[in-house]
Amino acid sequence: MVAVTTVLNETSNFVEPAPSALLLLGQDRDLASERGVECTGALPSPSDPDLVERARAAREALGDRAFVLGHHYQRDEVIDFADVTGDSFKLAQRAAARPEAEFVLFCGVHFMAESADILTSDAQQVVLPDMAAGCSMADMAEISQVEEAWAVLEDAGVAGDTVPVTYMNSTAAIKAFTGRHGGTVCTSSNAQVALRWAFDRVGGLDGTGKVLFMPDQHLGRNTAVLQLGMSLDDCVVFDPRKPGGGLTEAELRDARMILWRGHCSVHGRFSERNVTDIRAAVPDVNVLVHPECKHEVVTAADMVGSTEYIIKALDAAEPGSSWAIGTELNLVRRVARAHPDKQVHYLDSTVCFCSTMNRIDLPHLVWAMESLVEGRVVNRIVVDADDAHWARVALDQMLALPGI
Ligand code: SF4
C-alpha cells in the first residue's frame, strides 16, 4: 500500500526528507522485482470510451481458450470480466479444474498467479495483467531471509523441533522452503487445522515443539491464541532485519509460535479505536474483521473470518442488521451493494484499498487480452521447476489436512 501524505503545515523549519530507497510502483527502478516494472506494451487509455467494448470483444475472441480469475479485492471494472471470483486458493484450484483453458488471466497479485502456475498443467499459461501487482506482505519474507532465520533456529538447537507453516500470501520460494522442511501452506480459513497438524508433528499442543509461521504475524498469533488456546507469551516475533531475529536463544527455546515479522498493509491499518468508534456511532453493530487484523482489533470485534466467511456471514445476516467490516474496501463495497436490506459500514474511518491489487485495472486487462488475441503471451508467470515441485508438496500437504 502506498501512503500519500499531504503537508499542511508550511513552517520554515520543514526539512526536505532524503530521497527514499523505497521502490515506486510502476517505475522501472528494479527490473528484478515486480514492484518496479512498467508495462511492456502500449496500454489503452483509461478514458478510452471504447474500453469496455474492447474488453468484451477480446474476451469473446478468446472464448474457452481463456479463463479470467478475479480476486475478491479487485476493482468492479475488472470483476465484471471475471469468470469466477474468490480467494487466492479457490481461484488457483478453479484454474486447475479448467485444463482446457490455455490462458489463465489472474486478476490478483503476484503470489496468487505463482500458485496458479504451480497448480495448473504445463499446457496452461498464467498471465498477470500488471507485473507491478505485488503484495507487501509477501514481500516482507524473502527466501534469503527465511534461510538465514532457519540457520538461527539450527544454531539455537530448535530447528529439529520446529515445523514451518506458511500462509498462502507468500512467494513460491517460501512455499518451496516450507515443502522442503516438511511443513504446510495454510489459508485464513484453515490456519487452525494447519497449526494443529504442525504441532502434532512435534509432540502436540501440550509439548514443547514449535511452529515457524510466515509471513503474517497477526494471522499466526490470532489463530494460536484465539483458536488453539495458547497465550501471548507463547508467541515471539522474529524480525529478519535484526541479528538473530532480535531474539535470544532462550526466547527461541521457550517459544511455541515463532511469528515472522510481516503483516498486511491494508488489514494492519484497522485499530481498536475504529471498533470503539463504530460501536459508539452505530447501536447494535456487529463488528466483523479479517484475521490479518491486529490481535487487539480481532479481540475487540464480534466475529473474525476469511473473505469467504465474511461474504457468507452477510448472506446469512438478518435484514435490518448493522455491520462494520474490517477488510479490503472493494470487497466491503460489493458486499454492501449485495445487501441493501442491511446496514454495512466500513470499519476504518478513512478508505483503504489494497493499492497493489488495484494495479490491475481495465486498461491492463484489455492490453493482456488483446495481446493474447494477437498471439502474444504477455506477463507470463512461470515458477522454476524445483521451487514449483516443493511448493506443490507444501500445497498438497494443505489439501491433505483433515477436514479440508
Ligand atoms: S490485501 Fe494485504 S495481503 Fe492482500 S494482496 Fe493486499 S497487501 Fe497483500
Q: How far, in Å, CA of 346 to CA of 335, rounded? A: 11
Residue at 5 is within a domain: no
Residue 108, Cβ neighbours under 10 Å: how many? 29
245 and 309 assigned to the same domain: no
The DSSP bridge pattern shows strands 125-127 and 184-186 to be unpaired
281 and 241 assigned to the same domain: no
CB of 141 closer than 6 A to ligand 1?
no
Residue at 351 is within a domain: no
- Among residues 161, 171, 118, which one has the least CA distance to residue 141? 171
Q: How far, in Å, CA of 402 to CA of 376, rounded? A: 42
Nearest CA to ligand 1 atom 6: 354
C-alpha cell at 4: 500519500
Helix intervals (H) in 136-281: 136-139, 143-155, 172-180, 191-201, 217-222, 249-254, 272-281
Domain encompassing residue 142: 138-265+389-399
CB of 266 closer than 6 A to ligand 1?
yes
252 and 301 assigned to the same domain: no
185 and 251 assigned to the same domain: yes
Is the separation of the CB atoms in 221 and 235 below 8 Å?
A: yes
Q: Relative to the CA of 354, which ligand 1 atom is closest?
A: 6
**Three-state SS across 147-170?**
HHHHHHHHHCCCHHHEEEEEECCC
CB of 136 closer than 6 A to ligand 1?
yes
C-alpha cell at 329: 474496501
For residue 328, the CA-to-ligand 1 centroid distance in Å is 8
255 and 275 assigned to the same domain: no
CB of 170 closer than 6 A to ligand 1?
no
Residue ranges of E strands in 29-75: 66-71
Q: Is 123 exposed, middle or buried (0-12, 13-18, 19+ CB in 10 A)?
A: exposed
Nearest CA to ligand 1 atom 3: 264
Rg (CA), the chain: 22
303 and 364 assigned to the same domain: no
For residue 226, the CA-to-ligand 1 centroid distance in Å is 22
Residue at 178 is within a domain: yes
**Predicted TM-score of the model (pTM):** 0.89
DSSP per residue over 306-364, as a string?
A: -HHHHHHHHHHSPTT-EEEEES-HHHHHHHHHH-TTSEEEESSSS----TTGGG--HHH
Query: How many Cα atoms are found within 13 Å in the side-chain-facing hemisphere of 2?
Result: 17
Nearest CA to ligand 1 atom 5: 135
Q: Relative to the CA of 265, which ligand 1 atom is closest?
A: 7
For residue 271, the CA-to-ligand 1 centroid distance in Å is 17
Residue at 53 is within a domain: yes
Residue at 379 is within a domain: no
Q: What is the pLDDT of residues 334-354, one digit of tens each?
A: 999 999 999 999 999 786 789
395 and 285 assigned to the same domain: no
310 and 275 assigned to the same domain: yes
Substitution candidate for ligand 1 out of 219, 265, 307 with most atoms within 8 A of CB: 265
Residue ranges of E strands in 34-95: 66-71, 84-86
Residue 342, Cβ neighbours under 10 Å: how many? 17
194 and 294 assigned to the same domain: no
Residue at 15 is within a domain: no
Number of domains the chain is built from:
3
176 and 291 assigned to the same domain: no
Nearest CA to ligand 1 atom 8: 135
Residue at 230 is within a domain: yes
Is the separation of the CB atoms in 225 and 231 below 8 Å?
A: yes
| pLDDT tens across the length of the chain (404 residues) | 333 322 222 333 444 444 444 444 444 445 455 555 778 788 999 899 999 999 999 999 999 999 999 999 999 999 999 999 999 888 888 888 999 999 999 999 999 999 999 999 999 999 999 999 999 999 999 999 999 999 999 999 999 999 999 999 999 999 999 999 999 999 999 999 999 999 999 999 999 999 999 999 999 999 999 999 999 999 999 999 999 999 999 999 999 999 999 999 999 999 999 999 999 999 999 999 999 999 999 999 999 999 999 999 999 999 999 999 999 999 999 999 999 999 999 999 786 789 999 999 999 999 999 999 999 999 999 999 999 999 999 999 999 998 76
CB of 127 closer than 6 A to ligand 1?
no
Q: Could you tell me the CATH number of the domain that includes residue 164? A: 3.40.50.10800
Q: What is the pLDDT of residues 156-174, one digit of tens each?
A: 999 999 999 999 999 999 9
Substitution candidate for ligand 1 out of 71, 130, 136, 289 with most atoms within 8 A of CB: 136
Q: How far, in Å, CA of 306 to CA of 168, rounded? A: 12
116 and 146 assigned to the same domain: no
CB of 354 closer than 6 A to ligand 1?
yes
189 and 106 assigned to the same domain: no
Residue at 74 is within a domain: yes
